[in-house]
Amino acid sequence: MTDAPPPEAPLGETPMQRALRLKQAALEARPKPPRGGKFQRQQASRVAAGDSKPWMTK
């Protein structure tokens, strides 16, 4: 029982390269933040999402 590399792994891949490839694949699989709307406007104006206090505005 040997650990054969998966078919998408390049030949001669070092353990460090394999770990990096797997880490990047795991990060790509994570859900992405919402795009557009109020959330993006807050990020663009450098306002933290938790700082939204509508009762503090006039």
Tell me the average pLDDT across 46-53.
65
> How far apart are the C-alpha atoms of 13 and 22, rounded to whole Å?
12
pTM of the model: 0.42
Q: Are 18 and 9 in contact (CB under 8 A)?
A: yes
2-11, 21-30, 37-46, range with greatest mean pLDDT: 21-30
Tell me the average pLDDT across 26-30.
91
Tokens read off for 41: 């406007």
Tokens read off for 15: 């353990």
Tokens read off for 10: 């390049």
Element of type H or E holding 28: helix 15-29
Reported as a pLDDT band with limits 50, 70 and 90, residue 53 is confident
